[in-house]
Chain A
């Protein structure tokens, strides 16, 4: 599917998170990154974070701690905020198709 076609089928909630997290695909991540986060191209480091977060979510039903994200991807702590300018919750987790986490985010 073309990015335009993917974009037209996406159902987002009021904050730009996927309304149906189960419908996520890597193409959806590319579209969310560009349209919601202003990230034109997802690089290897982006994908390392996205794939880990997605796999963790599918297993545990929630977002991983940032420590687990760093330790399992080899990304440095400060790097995450550069890769995803909206931060781990509203940036990385959103692109990985997770629902919005509870709490002050």
Chain B
């Protein structure tokens, strides 16, 4: 059957050194494109934030990059400074006349090189600097504007751009074909039936008028499908009417990280349209931090309209099912000490803080908070597209030391993380820093704790 989605895989990205070579000898037209896009992307909000930094330095002690490496380029204030210089150049003729006095700097090849190294390579857009800024400067929004200027000029690191291109061109960020998606769901339905011991259990596809449409991370069908079985087991036990979509199933939106509002809008539009097509009452987002921030909070801005239905995290839905007594849990099934990681885009930037804690209180024998946690959590290090940008992987793993130290201090054997991207980074730092931990999503933990029926 045809879904209208092109099934050809996205073209392979150029070799990394080609990107570096390109940055070293940028054509004037490319620089001009980046400069024009930067000027167009700046709004009044950006301008207020760019003018507000009082250079107090509090952000430096809040950033995981700056805490592991004192290189001044890691300071959020420096990241703001790099964007502010170009802003002064674009916004004031006076500044252009006297750049030495005013600190104005044109968007040129040199500044673009610095933006790539600093704004792509030293920032996970986690927003902890903003949370600790005395004047509340929205650093991730400024970083996104500058990244967006580079996106317009085709200068996003190719490993990140290829993830955006895969989503735009194939409908999901791993280029999973329609047949592979449907085949995987049908195959997993057998797994689910064995898991719950009920031959009527289903993974419904394209069922209209359901309570919610469930969308998930493509890495689940591709590599980690047991989390789909886990969600299916929870929904089956609770007796909810839910559905997956045959076409657009991807909760992620890497346009948020490349900074391209066009790509972000194209991707966000599909989930709104699919929810409407299936007449689902709600759009429920699988465990994905940035997917929550993008689809819940930013999509209305990108699309210029409210969706007209509720957009929720699956964590919130599962907490409701437990509270309402629709699933029965046996915490003794998970005796090991658990700690909880707070994905920045779900928690600090997303506002979902309590439900995951309610779930742990009912699903596991014992759990402890990290210090700090909640709104003041530290990023795992994998956000902002860092996980996909191989060229900055060393810095990502070094910056992950802050989270590794936090986890070690809890003594926990299991880390619960309501975000697949965080799960991957946490698994990597578990290996890098020999933490001896198992990393699980909330749905996987809840499914493990479901009371077995005879």
A interface residues, Cβ below 8 angstroms from B: 13-15, 17, 60-63, 65-68, 71, 77-78, 86-90, 100-105
* Binary A-proximity of B2-40 (CB < 8 A = 1, otherwise 0): 000000011010001000000000000000000000000
Question: Complex: how many Å from CA A99 to CA B391?
Answer: 13
Smallest CB-CB separation from B162: which chain A residue? A102
Question: Complex: how many Å from CA A89 to CA B226?
Answer: 15
* Binary A-proximity of B397-434 (CB < 8 A = 1, otherwise 0): 00000000000000000000000110010011001000
Complex interface: chain B residues within 8 A of A65 (CB): 176, 180, 183-184, 221-222
Are B223 and A13 touching (Cβ within 8 A)? Answer: no
Complex interface: chain A residues within 8 A of B313 (CB): none
Smallest CB-CB separation from B389: which chain A residue? A14
In order of increasing CB-CB distance, the 10 nearest A-B pairs are A14-B393, A104-B421, A102-B163, A88-B223, A15-B393, A103-B174, A103-B173, A67-B184, A67-B187, A65-B180
Are A67 and B225 touching (Cβ within 8 A)? Answer: yes
Question: Complex: how many Å from CA A14 to CA B166?
Answer: 23
**Closest-CB distance, B395 to chain A (whole angstroms):** 9
Are B174 and A102 touching (Cβ within 8 A)? Answer: yes
Partner of A101, one of B174, B187, B393, B431: B174
Q: Residue B55 at the A interface, CB < 8 A? A: no
Are B159 and A104 touching (Cβ within 8 A)? Answer: no
A-B contact pairs, 12 of them (CB 8 A): A62-B175, A63-B222, A65-B222, A66-B225, A67-B184, A86-B431, A100-B159, A102-B166, A103-B173, A103-B222, A104-B173, A105-B219
Question: Complex: how many Å from CA A52 to CA B278?
Answer: 37
Q: Residue B217 at the A interface, CB < 8 A? A: yes
Chain B contact residues, majority secondary structure: helix
Are A104 and B420 touching (Cβ within 8 A)? Answer: yes
Complex interface: chain A residues within 8 A of B420 (CB): 104
Question: Complex: how many Å from CA A65 to CA B219?
Answer: 10
**Closest-CB distance, B176 to chain A (whole angstroms):** 7
Complex interface: chain B residues within 8 A of A61 (CB): 9, 12
Complex interface: chain B residues within 8 A of A60 (CB): 9
B-side interface size class: 35 or more
Are B388 and A102 touching (Cβ within 8 A)? Answer: yes
**Closest-CB distance, A73 to chain B (whole angstroms):** 14
Are A86 and B427 touching (Cβ within 8 A)? Answer: yes
Interface residues of B in 150-207 (CB under 8 A from A): 159, 162-163, 166, 173-176, 180, 183-184, 187-188, 191
**Closest-CB distance, A39 to chain B (whole angstroms):** 13
Chain A contact residues, majority secondary structure: loop
Question: Complex: how many Å from CA A38 to CA B195?
Answer: 31
Are A66 and B223 touching (Cβ within 8 A)? Answer: yes
Complex interface: chain A residues within 8 A of B225 (CB): 66-67, 77
Question: Complex: how many Å from CA A78 to CA B230?
Answer: 13
Complex interface: chain B residues within 8 A of A87 (CB): 223-224, 427
Question: Complex: how many Å from CA A14 to CA B157?
Answer: 14
Are A89 and B175 touching (Cβ within 8 A)? Answer: no
Smallest CB-CB separation from A16: which chain B residue? B393
Are A78 and B226 touching (Cβ within 8 A)? Answer: yes
Q: Residue B390 at the A interface, CB < 8 A? A: yes
Interface residues of B in 211-234 (CB under 8 A from A): 217-219, 221-226
Question: Complex: how many Å from CA A63 to CA B218?
Answer: 13
Complex interface: chain B residues within 8 A of A103 (CB): 163, 166, 173-174, 217-219, 222, 252, 388
Q: Residue B256 at the A interface, CB < 8 A? A: no
Q: Residue B394 at the A interface, CB < 8 A? A: yes
Smallest CB-CB separation from B393: which chain A residue? A14
Question: Complex: how many Å from CA A101 to CA B223?
Answer: 11
Question: Complex: how many Å from CA A87 to CA B191?
Answer: 19
Are A66 and B222 touching (Cβ within 8 A)? Answer: yes
**Closest-CB distance, B8 to chain A (whole angstroms):** 11
**Closest-CB distance, A33 to chain B (whole angstroms):** 14
Smallest CB-CB separation from A80: which chain B residue? B223
Complex interface: chain A residues within 8 A of B217 (CB): 103-104
Supposing A63-B222, A66-B222 touch, asked if A14 and B390 sit within 8 A by C-beta, the answer is: yes
Interface-central residue, A14, A15, A65, A77, by most chain B CB under 10 Å:
A65
Question: Complex: how many Å from CA A66 to CA B39?
Answer: 45
**Closest-CB distance, B107 to chain A (whole angstroms):** 28
Complex interface: chain A residues within 8 A of B394 (CB): 14
Are B180 and A104 touching (Cβ within 8 A)? Answer: no
**Closest-CB distance, B226 to chain A (whole angstroms):** 7
**Closest-CB distance, B115 to chain A (whole angstroms):** 20
Question: Complex: how many Å from CA A104 to CA B420?
Answer: 7
**Closest-CB distance, A32 to chain B (whole angstroms):** 15
Question: Complex: how many Å from CA A68 to CA B394?
Answer: 32
Complex interface: chain A residues within 8 A of B428 (CB): 90
Complex interface: chain A residues within 8 A of B427 (CB): 86-87
Smallest CB-CB separation from B176: which chain A residue? A65
Smallest CB-CB separation from B12: which chain A residue? A61
Smallest CB-CB separation from B11: which chain A residue? A61
Supposing A67-B180, A67-B183 touch, asked if A104 and B175 sit within 8 A by C-beta, the answer is: no
